[in-house]
């Protein structure tokens, strides 16, 4: 049997992208923020002494945006912003990462596939209004 390396709770073969937040100048990965993207989830690990791990399921990603500043373009970096229906982070930012365009495209495709797989139409919280109005179709109580 093959030994699969485990990163956190995710096996190495399940990881599609594994990136680090980088400095804008020279693109050096001297930060303590890591991003792990799999088919089902986006994970952001931050910190050196005190660590914070934040996960977001792919089916909760509503839209993805790619932002590249002048210096990011020079050093071939980008910032991917994921707009989610998650309660902890409405905007999940993958800041100053390499391969930003490929990551953005992958998240768009994977989130759509995850929504179809779970049969989720919309992840946004909608106000249902007055529940009594649902049965009151013809105006008669």
- In this predicted model, what pLDDT tens digit does every residue of 68-91 receive, in sequence order? 999 999 999 999 999 998 888 899
Residue 70 to residue 76: CA distance in whole angstroms: 10
Domain that holds residue 98: 12-118
Q: Confirm whether 40 is domain-assigned.
A: yes
- Residue 55, token pair as written in the block: 């996960």
CATH number for the domain spanning 64: value is 2.30.29.30
**98 occurs within a structural domain:** yes
81 vs 115: CA distance, rounded Å: 19
- pLDDT tens track for 89-108: 899 999 999 999 999 999 99
Residue 33 lies in a domain: yes
Strands 52-57 and 91-97: unpaired
Q: For residues 65 and 79, what is the distance between their CA atoms, to the nearest angstrom? A: 8
Give pTM, 2 decimals. Answer: 0.75
Whether 141 is in a domain gets the answer no
| Bridge partners of residue 6, in order along the sequence | 11
Number of neighbours of residue 30 by Cβ within 10 angstroms: 9
Helix (H, G, I), strand (E, B) or coil at 72: helix
Q: How far apart are CA 43 and CA 27, in angstroms?
A: 21
Give the model confidence (pLDDT) of 2-13 as tens digits: 444 555 555 666
Asked, for residue 60, whether it belongs to a domain, the answer is yes
The 3-state DSSP class for residue 22 equals coil
- Residue 121 has a pLDDT of 67
d(CA 107, CA 94): 12
Task: Specify the pLDDT at position 28.
Answer: 86
Examine residue 123 and state whether it is found in any structural domain, yes or no: no
Which tokens go with 19? 């990136």
* Residue 6 belongs to some domain of the structure: no
Name the average pLDDT for the chain: 83
Evaluate whether residue 4 is within a structural domain.
no
The total number of structural domains in the chain stands at 1
Dihedral (C-alpha) 48, 34, 43, 82: value to the nearest 10 degrees?
Answer: 120
Provide the pLDDT for residue 11: 65
> Is pLDDT above 90 for 130?
no
């Amino acid at each position: 049997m093959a030994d699969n390396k485990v990163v956190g709770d995710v096996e190495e073969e399940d990881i599609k992208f594994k990136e680090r937040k980088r400095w804008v100048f020279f693109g050096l990965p001297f930060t303590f923020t890591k991003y792990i993207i799999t088919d089902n989830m986006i994970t952001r690990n931050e910190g050196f002494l005190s660590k914070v791990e934040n996960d977001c399921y792919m089916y909760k990603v509503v839209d993805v945006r790619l932002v590249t500043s002048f210096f990011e373009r020079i050093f071939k970096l980008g910032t991917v912003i994921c707009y989610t229906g998650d309660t902890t982070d409405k905007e999940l930012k993958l800041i100053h990462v390499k391969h930003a365009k490929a990551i953005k495209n992958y998240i768009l495709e994977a989130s759509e596939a995850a929504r179809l797989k779970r049969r989720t139409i919309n992840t946004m919280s909608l106000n249902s209004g007055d529940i009594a109005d649902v049965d009151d179709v013809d105006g008669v109580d």
